[in-house]
Structure formats: structure tokens, C-alpha cells
Amino acid sequence: MAERTRCEICNRDFPNQDALTMHNSAKHLNQENVKMNKSGDKSFIYFSIIFLVAVGIIYFIANSGNSTGDIVNNAGNYNGGDIQKINIGFQGGNYYPDTIKVKEGIPVEVILDNSVRGCFRSFNIKELGVSGYSSDSSQTIKFTPDKKGSFEFACGMRMGRGTIIVE
């Protein structure tokens, strides 16, 4: 009966050592990786966990001053002009400010500054029928809010969100 050789990683049988060597080089990269896996070396896993925890802490610290609660109150500052201008930027992974106030029935002009990138340049307020795209800060999104209330605004992919309060 022919002697068979078994792969210690995937438990497959091979007819000879050459076949096992070819298998390991194709499926398990190389013999050093096979030996490392066999020995149970977990340093890569530990390093990865520590790295991810450190990145998470840095991200949390960097975004702890995010825009939640910051409000641009154009309703209170509106002085009878013909349009309410809203300047929106990007900070901490979201629109900034993420809450704005405007007056009902008076045209609004949204300006997305140059810090806003990618899908965040698409600006939508579903409940008010607003859907616009601004490729740069010279292109504005104009609409007139026709009902009072709080409405969500979001980018096209809904990754960025905020609230517009119509008074």
C-alpha cells in the first residue's frame, strides 16, 4: 500500500511529499507560513487587535467635538431679505452644522462649501421634495419650505444626515 502524506492545516491526504509541497505552496503560501500557523504564533492577531483599539480611541478623541447640537438659526437672524442663505460644511464625518432653522415660505439657498466631498454633495430633504447636487460651492441648492416641522436632510447615500427645522 502506498504511503500517504497529510496536510496539517487542511487535513487533506496526498499521495507523496512532492504533492503535499505543491499543495502547500499553492494553498498555504509557503512552508514558513505553514510552520508559523502550526506553531500557533498569535503575535499578528494581538498586534492587529491593539492597532484597531488604538485607531478607535484616536477616532473617538478626534470626533468628540462633533457637530451634534450646533444650530445655524437663520430663522432668528433673518432680516426681511428675499432669501435665507445656509452655508454647510463637512466636519467629524458629517454635515456641519447638522441642525439648521429657517422660516416657512421664504426661499432657502443651501451652499455646500469646498470641505463637502463625494456623495455628501448630493443634498436631499425627502419630506420637502428637495433633491439637489452641487459640484462646487458656486452651485447652490434652492427651495422654499412650504410646511413647518423638523425634517431630515441627507446625502444621496444617507451617510451624512442632519435636521432642518422650519418655523
Residues 89 and 156 in one domain: yes
Segments forming the whole domain that contains residue 32:
5-62
Residues 102 and 151 in one domain: yes
Q: How far is CA 106 from the centre of its chain?
A: 33
Residues 155 and 87 in one domain: yes
CA 95, CA 26: separation in Å to the nearest integer? 48
| pLDDT given at position 111 | 93
**What cell numbers appear for 113 in the block?**
462649501
Residues 51 and 128 in one domain: no
| pLDDT given at position 152 | 95
Torsion, CA 160, CA 164, CA 90, CA 52, rounded to 10: -40
Q: Are 108 and 81 in contact (CB under 8 A)?
A: no
Residues 124 and 150 in one domain: yes
Regions of the chain with pLDDT less than 50:
34, 38-39, 64-70, 76
Residues 45 and 92 in one domain: no
Q: Are 130 and 107 in contact (CB under 8 A)?
A: no
| pLDDT given at position 25 | 79
Q: Which residues contact 19 (CB under 8 A, 6 or more apart)?
A: 5
Residues 43 and 79 in one domain: no
Q: Are 106 and 83 in contact (CB under 8 A)?
A: yes
| pLDDT given at position 76 | 47
Residues 159 and 86 in one domain: yes
| pLDDT given at position 110 | 93
| pLDDT given at position 12 | 87
Residues 86 and 139 in one domain: yes
Looking at the structure of the chain, the number of domains it has is 2
